[in-house]
Structure 1
Amino acid sequence: MPHVREWELDHLDQQPVANWGTHCHEDDQSKTSSRPRERNPPSKATRGRQAGKQATNPKGAMAKPRGGGGGGLLDLEGHYAFYGAYHSNPVNVGIHELFVWPIFLTALLLLHLTAPSAHAAGIGAAVYGAYYFLLDRRAGALAAFLCFLCWAASGALAARLGFSAGWKVVLVAQLFCWTMQFIGHGVFEKRAPALLDNLVQAFLMAPFFVLLEILHTFGGYEPYPGFHDKVSKLIEEARKEWEDNKSKKSS
Structure 2
Amino acid sequence: MAKIGLFDLEKHFAFYGAHHNNPVNIFIHMLFVWPILFTFLVLLYFTPPLVNISLPSSLIPNYGFLFTVIYAGFYVCLDVKASSLAGLLCVICWVSGSFVAHQLRFSLAWKVVLVAQLFCWTGQFIGHGVFEVILSSTYFALLDNLLEAFLMGPFFVLLEALQLAFGYEPYPGFHAGVKAKVDTDIKEWKDENKKKKNM
TM over 0.5: yes
Give distance in 2, aligned partners of 1:196 and 1:244: 20
Give distance in 2, aligned partners of 1:249 and 1:111: 43
1:228-247, CA deviations, whole angstroms, 9 ceiling, x for partnerless residues?
00001001100111111111
2:85 is the counterpart of 1:85: no
2:57 is the counterpart of 1:124: no
1:105-130, CA deviations, whole angstroms, 9 ceiling, x for partnerless residues?
011111112x2334211111111011
Tell me the secondary structure at the aligned position of residue 225 of structure 1: coil
1:181 alignment partner AA: Q
Greater RCO (CA < 8 Å, at least 6 residues apart): 2
Identical positions, percent: 56
Q: Which residue of 2 aligns with 1:155?
A: 98
Query: Among residues 211, 229, 233, which one is paired with 2:176 in the alignment?
Result: 229
1:152-190, CA deviations, whole angstroms, 9 ceiling, x for partnerless residues?
111001100000100001100000000000000000104
1:47-196 equivalences under 5 Å are 72-113=5-46, 115-117=47-49, 118=60, 119-190=62-133, 191=135, 192-196=139-143
Give distance in 2, aligned partners of 1:95 and 1:250: 31
Q: Which residue of 2 aligns with 1:37?
A: none
Q: Which residue of 2 aligns with 1:206?
A: 153
- Point out where structure 1 has 5 or more consecutive residues left out of the alignment: 1-70
Q: Which residue of 2 aligns with 1:17?
A: none
Tell me the secondary structure at the aligned position of residue 179 of structure 2: helix
Runs of 4+ in 1 over 4 A off after TM superposition: none
Give distance in 2, aligned partners of 1:176 and 1:136: 31
- Point out where structure 2 has 5 or more consecutive residues left out of the alignment: 50-59
1:247 alignment partner AA: K
Q: Which residue of 1 aligns with 2:185?
A: 238
Cα-Cα RMSD: 1.0
1:190-233, CA deviations, whole angstroms, 9 ceiling, x for partnerless residues?
42310111100111110010000000000010000110000010
Give TM-score, length-normalised by structure 2: 0.88
1:214 alignment partner AA: A
1:37-73, CA deviations, whole angstroms, 9 ceiling, x for partnerless residues?
xxxxxxxxxxxxxxxxxxxxxxxxxxxxxxxxxx621
2:66 alignment partner AA: I
Give distance in 2, aligned partners of 1:250 and 1:161: 52
1:18-39, CA deviations, whole angstroms, 9 ceiling, x for partnerless residues?
xxxxxxxxxxxxxxxxxxxxxx
Q: Tell which structure's C-alpha radius of gyration is larger.
A: 1
Give distance in 2, aligned partners of 1:175 and 1:130: 28
Number of residue-to-residue matches in the alignment: 180
